[in-house]
Amino acid sequence: MSKNDEKKNVNKSTEILKRTDIEKRLLKTGKNESENVRIIKRILLYISPYKKYIYGSLISAAVSAILSLLIPILTGDAIDKVAGTGKVDWNGLIVILIIMILVIALSAAAQWIMNACNNHITFSTVRAVRKAAMKKINNLPVSYFDKHPTGETVSRIISDVDQFSDGLLLGFTQFFTGVITILGTIILMLTINPVITLVVVLLTPLSFLVASFIARITYKQFKTQVEVRGQQTNIITEMLEQEKVVKAFSYEERAEEIFGKNNDELARTSLKAVFYSSLTNPSTRFINNMVYAGVAVTGAFSAISGRISVGGLAAFLGYANQYTKPFNEISGVVTELQNAIACAGRVFDLIDEEPRKPEDEDALILGLIKAETDDKKSQVRAAGALNGDIRFSDVSFSYTRDKELLKNVNVFAGKGKRIAIVGPTGCGKTTLINLLMRFYDVDDGAVTIDGYDVRHLTRHSLRRAFGMVLQDTWLKPGTIRDNIIMGKPDATDEEMIAAARASHAHSFIRQLEHGYDTVIGEDGGSLSQGQKQLICISRVMLMHPPMLILDEATSSIDTRTELKIQNAFAKLMEGRTSFIVAHRLSTIREADSILVMKDGNIIEQGDHKTLLEKGGFYSTLYKSQFEG
């Protein structure tokens, strides 16, 4: 391993440790705290790794605010330099103007540094949140995706994180400077006139009371808004992904109606959210104007009585304006933060989902005799050379607790045996495959390969041992070559073409403009369903996996080609344990054993001839397909 690779691994390990540390601290969040407080604490924990940027932002904000606070003093001094007829002090005035220009330039530079730090904090935090969300998605069980629409999940990772980012950036940008400006103006106003300052401070809490009252209402509205927006994203995603189905069933008007209702609901919820949030700024601005008016009246009487100069009054009014202005900005920030917190809550809900059951620390590697660790002193435990004996022992399973599916299923498939699974829709055929591949874990009993429970095997080695061809095709955007060699990236062109010939895909691929380098879109693009299935079959032919799963593998292929592929599959299945899920019973006559399932139970078992002679459920199914 090169030094660069070692460095990358160290950096990656450090990042993982940091993230793990954050996640551990997140679990310590109080259970009895309000939802908002818990979300804010989690946001702060995600921000905590960027302390140096936080300090940089705080220092820059302080410098910018302090320098901006000097402007009213300099303005007041400048007014005093020109106050009175024939009393203009030009030399003093020029010096003040030069100082003002320098102060403004330095304040602008400090503000630029603050914004740069805030941007780094915000986008680094958002990146960490998105990484955590994607990491969780990759570790979620299949059951999560069965229960949650794809579009809603996409909305949480994209739209909600973007909204969270906008609110977080606005909060950092305006909150720091606002707080420092408020504290600074109070101190400077006290030095000028404590009495007038007292008037300002006493009227200030009114602004906080109004803003907090509106914020509570606003949060509920924004939470509803993001939920409806997630539903809309799901509707759009579903309609785009199933565009051909929509057109085939003339579902356009119904789709528009569903979208229209959702869009109207989003408009209503958004209008409410925006309406309530827009009340904050004018309400606080009204109170702040009252403060300013009180300062002006009190200051005018003080100026008349000679307790304050005209320049001092101008400086004080400037400070009063600077003092009230942050309250308007912070009230706007509070509104955006309510939206950001609502969005962050949805993302954190995703991150908090129960992950799939982790692999055992000593999980076995299926088919591996031995493998040495990095220190080359100890050996990884392994299941030994793969034989392919598969057994279901008293397996029970259900997708939901209230509806039992599989009950005490017992199946044995010895090495090289071809096991066919038939039965009506919903009887549990595909569920057996899901349990075998460990997309789900059994509720009771065990599924074993060569005597090893699949729950104690690494998922990677388990799934790599199987070649799967399903009724639904798995193709990605790229060239046909990329899709065929997906499971064996180092395959030679000769191996790839041989696999395509075996699956009878070579003839149609050769007729394409760019042959194997033809680029196809998502899910095969313009290729027919049969052509897409042939490419998937070619992929399996190339890998020569130890075990096979064929689920209606030739359902979209013409009869003549199907017969040829059946012969190719017959050769491929020689010496390999194979499971064949089929509705067309003509394709499983040569199976060593046929499992007939109904209502989650195996009601009949045997070869084709035996089951026909038995005259049971299988015989009825078979004859129903060949009547006449």
> Secondary structure of 448-514 in the HEC alphabet?
EECCEEHHHECHHHHHHCEEEECCCCCCCCEEHHHHHHHHCCCCCHHHHHHHHHHCCCHHHHHHCCC
Distance of alpha carbon 341 from alpha carbon 391, whole angstroms: 50
| Three-class secondary structure of residue 79 per DSSP | helix
Contact 485, 538 (CB under 8 A): no
411 Cβ neighbours under 8 A, 6+ residues apart: 390, 391, 392, 419, 432, 595, 602
Distance of alpha carbon 200 from alpha carbon 222, whole angstroms: 33
| Start-to-end C-alpha separation, the chain | 69
Burial of residue 92 (CB within 10 Å: 0-12, 13-18, 19+) is middle
The DSSP call for residue 359 is: P
pTM score, two decimals? 0.63
Sign of the Cα torsion 606, 611, 613, 617 reads: positive
Contact 582, 389 (CB under 8 A): no
Longest dimension (CA), the chain: 125
What CATH class has 16-351?
mainly alpha
Give, in order, the Cα–Cα distances in Å from 378 to each of 367, 373, 402.
18, 6, 47
The reported pLDDT for the residue numbered 626 is 65
The reported pLDDT for the residue numbered 57 is 84
The reported pLDDT for the residue numbered 627 is 58
Distance of alpha carbon 30 from alpha carbon 591, whole angstroms: 59
Structure tokens at 45: 């924990």
- What secondary structure does DSSP assign to 92-138, as a single string? HHHHHHHHHHHHHHHHHHHHHHHHHHHHHHHHHHHHHHHHHHHHHHH
| Three-class secondary structure of residue 550 per DSSP | strand
Placement of tokens 């394709």 in the chain: 587
Q: Which residues of 438-465 are buried (b: 16+ CB within 10 A; e: fewer)?
A: bbbebeebbbbbbebebbebbbebbbbb
Block mean pLDDT (10 aa), the chain, length 628? 46 44 47 69 83 85 81 75 66 82 89 86 86 87 81 81 78 72 78 74 71 73 80 80 77 85 86 79 74 74 71 72 69 71 84 83 69 44 68 87 81 87 80 87 89 87 84 83 88 90 87 88 76 85 85 70 73 82 74 85 86 85 69
Give 510's Cβ-side CA count (13 Å radius): 8
Domain extents in the chain: 16-351
What's the count of helices (H) and strands (E) in the chain, helices before strands? 21, 14
* Cβ atoms within 10 Å, residue 610: 13
| Three-class secondary structure of residue 578 per DSSP | strand
Distance of alpha carbon 347 from alpha carbon 99, whole angstroms: 49
